[in-house]
């Protein structure tokens, strides 16, 4: 049973900063320039005045942490405004009733399990105790489903973070009990204790959620687009080759679809993210040192190498076509699939292997072909 609480001493805060160093610098190889290598700590300006939550296992070992900043905290700076559009929410509720959740991480063995959800439930209780109405965070695409089950909603387009890649901003309205009940949010029982917000203010907050979310679950229409792409010419790299509709649905159960815009950097060379992307529609370019070395269209996979072996991204992937949509899949999805349906998992890995071999063969033949025909694995 995990023990989850806010740090109380400077020693505990220092322990959190060392924990971040282990996760970010040593495991993920990011924030290397910003870290204090002498003390082995990762600290930034937003830690000044922030509340730090920790999670410990039964032995007392630190296994998770997150940071919480109130909207009126002087250290927030322009970064939070750009990421979350803070001013939009502060026009409806006062800044001290807004909470920004960041630096959320757990150890590898706890990823894809219940600890993250328990920490969010605890931070929701903390928010209620401090009169918070709006809680904000951002996450990688494959985690959107987790936060939606907790009541968070997507409200603005994804952006590219130089360290984490594509990130999706999300918002939680603590007084919107109607939404929490309708979506069967895990937080509904906790948030039912909250004092209701004025109807006019609640309506203004709800109006910030677009009718067509920028990140959403895959639909039958999306699958139909994929099927069409796979029947138009050779799509031997497809993850879903020879799979039935219900099997594809099982694979995509926890994946999410992203609507992309021209110029979006889906993948950046050197990043340590492991999300696998399947192109549903549109066009993307694969680039190395600014030079195009291939393109990707509907049915193509991107990011297989990092997905399979956790290697840094080996190329940039940039959106170059209107209406580009991609499905984002987490590597943990296949870990779970191997437990629940090992035969289906084996067929998917076989298709991944075929696709990588297909790309390798195409790249070897690159001098005799055009760039349009080569789709490198980013």
Share of the chain above pLDDT 70, in %: 89
pTM, to two decimals: 0.79
Residue, of 148 and 76, whose pLDDT is higher: 148
Q: Mean of the pLDDT values across residues 94-112?
A: 93
DSSP reduced 3-state for 159: strand
Question: What pLDDT score was predicted for residue 343?
Answer: 92
Q: Where do the CATH 2.60.120.10 domains begin and end in the chain?
A: 218-373
Q: What is the pLDDT of residues 269-286, one digit of tens each?
A: 887 778 889 888 899 999
Q: Where do the CATH 3.40.630.30 domains begin and end in the chain?
A: 3-206
Is the domain spanning 218-373 CATH 2.60.120.10? The answer is: yes
pLDDT category of residue 69 using cuts at 50, 70 and 90:
very high
Q: Mean of the pLDDT values across residues 342-371?
A: 78
Residue, of 157 and 254, whose pLDDT is higher: 157
- The answer to whether 141 and 260 have CB atoms below 8 angstroms apart is no
What is the Cα–Cα distance from 73 to 306, expressed in whole angstroms? 37
What is the Cα–Cα distance from 100 to 50, expressed in whole angstroms? 10
Is the domain spanning 3-206 CATH 3.40.630.30? The answer is: yes
CB neighbour list of residue 206: distance below 8 Å, 6 or more residues apart: 173, 176, 179
Q: Is the pLDDT of residue 257 over 80?
A: yes
Handedness of CA 80, 86, 87, 90 (dihedral sign): negative
**Residue-averaged pLDDT of the chain:** 86
Handedness of CA 153, 156, 160, 166 (dihedral sign): positive
Q: Is the pLDDT of residue 61 over 90?
A: yes
Give the range among 12-16, 17-21, 371-375 with minimum mean pLDDT.
Answer: 371-375
Question: What pLDDT score was predicted for residue 5?
Answer: 97
**Cα 367 to the center of its chain, rounded Å:** 37
**Three-class HEC string of 302-347:** ECHHHHHHCCCCCCEEEECCCCCEEEEECHHHHHHHHHHCHHHHHH
């Amino acid at each position: 049973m995990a023990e989850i609480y806010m740090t109380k001493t400077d020693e505990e805060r220092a322990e959190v900063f060392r924990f971040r160093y282990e996760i970010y610098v040593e495991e993920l190889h990011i924030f290397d320039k910003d870290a204090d290598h002498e003390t082995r700590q990762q600290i930034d300006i937003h830690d000044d005045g922030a509340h730090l939550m920790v999670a410990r296992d039964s032995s007392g070992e630190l296994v998770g942490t997150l940071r919480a900043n109130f909207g009126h905290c002087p250290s927030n700076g322009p970064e939070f405004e750009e990421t979350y559009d803070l001013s939009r929410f502060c026009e409806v509720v006062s800044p001290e009733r807004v909470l920004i959740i960041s630096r959320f991480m757990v150890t590898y063995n706890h990823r894809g399990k219940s600890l993250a959800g328990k920490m969010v439930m605890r931070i929701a209780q903390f928010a209620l105790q401090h009169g918070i109405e709006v809680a904000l965070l951002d996450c990688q695409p494959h985690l959107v489903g987790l936060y939606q089950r907790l009541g968070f909603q997507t409200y603005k387009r994804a952006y590219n973070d130089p360290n984490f890649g594509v990130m999706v901003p999300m918002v939680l309205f603590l007084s919107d009990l109607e939404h929490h009940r309708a979506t069967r949010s895990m937080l509904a029982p906790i948030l039912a204790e909250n004092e209701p917000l004025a109807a006019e203010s609640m309506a203004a907050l709800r109006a910030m959620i677009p009718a067509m979310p920028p990140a959403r679950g895959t639909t039958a229409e999306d699958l139909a687009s994929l099927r069409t792409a796979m029947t138009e010419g050779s799509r031997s790299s497809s993850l879903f080759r020879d799979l039935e509709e219900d099997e594809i649905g099982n694979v995509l159960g926890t994946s999410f679809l992203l609507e992309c815009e021209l110029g979006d950097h889906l993948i950046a060379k050197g990043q340590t993210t492991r999300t696998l992307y399947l192109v549903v529609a549109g066009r993307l370019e694969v680039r190395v040192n600014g030079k195009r070395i291939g393109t990707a269209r509907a049915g193509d996979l991107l990011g297989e190498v990092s997905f399979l072996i956790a290697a840094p991204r080996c190329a940039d992937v940039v959106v170059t076509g209107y209406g580009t949509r991609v499905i984002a899949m987490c590597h943990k999805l296949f870990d779970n699939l191997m437990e629940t349906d090992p035969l289906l998992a084996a067929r998917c890995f076989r298709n991944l292997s075929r696709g990588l071999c297909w790309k390798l063969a195409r790249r070897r033949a690159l001098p005799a072909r055009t760039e349009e025909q080569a789709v490198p694995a980013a």
